[in-house]
Amino acid sequence: MDSEELLPISGLQHLAFCARQCALIHLERAWTENVLTAEGRLMHERVHSDESETRGDLRIVRGLPLVSRRLGLSGVADVIEFHRDANSPLRLEKYSGTWRVYPVEYKRGKQKKGDHDEVQLCAQAICLEETLGVSIPEGSLFYGKTRNRTVVPLDKTLRNKTERLAAEFHQLMQSGVTPPPSAGEHCKSCSLADECMPDLKRKAADYVAKMIEENLK
């Protein structure tokens, strides 16, 4: 697959969360930053701005470009840890020994009910496996609100879902059609709620204005 056909890994997280949100962002280029998205953006900027480092048997690399030609995805990893491991086949240039690969994705909030963060992490691992020729059985999600890591087993079920979503993401972009709105609990934390359902916002505003007018009579 050519580079111009590659889609952003982050789109899988959007698609797993809501197909309409994914289309609004990646098809219609709609984006509204709120407190949640701003905090997330600043966290990723801080992570990517730090230099890579080595601590004994641990090599930490930040902002590593990722690509999977098979899935048609590309992106940038927050943190990739390389742990010195005699059982791993991977060798790093300028570093002795062999190394095990461990991806870590940073999120601003806390662990969510769905698995859309896990899908994004899994896609990153698949990219690394394809590029480095290694197997990555697990990774972690770091949540800024709780300040801890959640270990994510990259099992067959999660991998199958990630590959299915990658195919659906390409189909969505090729169709050029934004799915209709479908209100749900997830809408409360969506930064595109106003763009997604402007009629609902207008009806609510009209209702409040009517109540105020009646109370002033």
pLDDT digits (tens, 9 = 90+) for 134-145: 999 999 999 988
Q: Is the pLDDT of residue 184 over 80?
A: no
Q: Is the pLDDT of residue 96 over 80?
A: yes
Q: Is the pLDDT of residue 44 over 60?
A: no
Continuous H helices in the chain: 10-17, 19-26, 35-49, 116-132, 156-175, 193-196, 198-216
pLDDT, tens digit (0-9, with 9 covering 90-100), for 157-167: 999 999 999 99
* pLDDT of the residue at 181: 83
Report the SS3 class of residue 199: helix
Residues 6+ apart with CB under 8 A from 137: 153, 154
pTM of the model: 0.80
Q: Is the pLDDT of residue 35 over 60?
A: no
Longest distance between any two alpha carbons in the chain, whole Å: 81
Cα dihedral sign, 100-104-110-116: negative
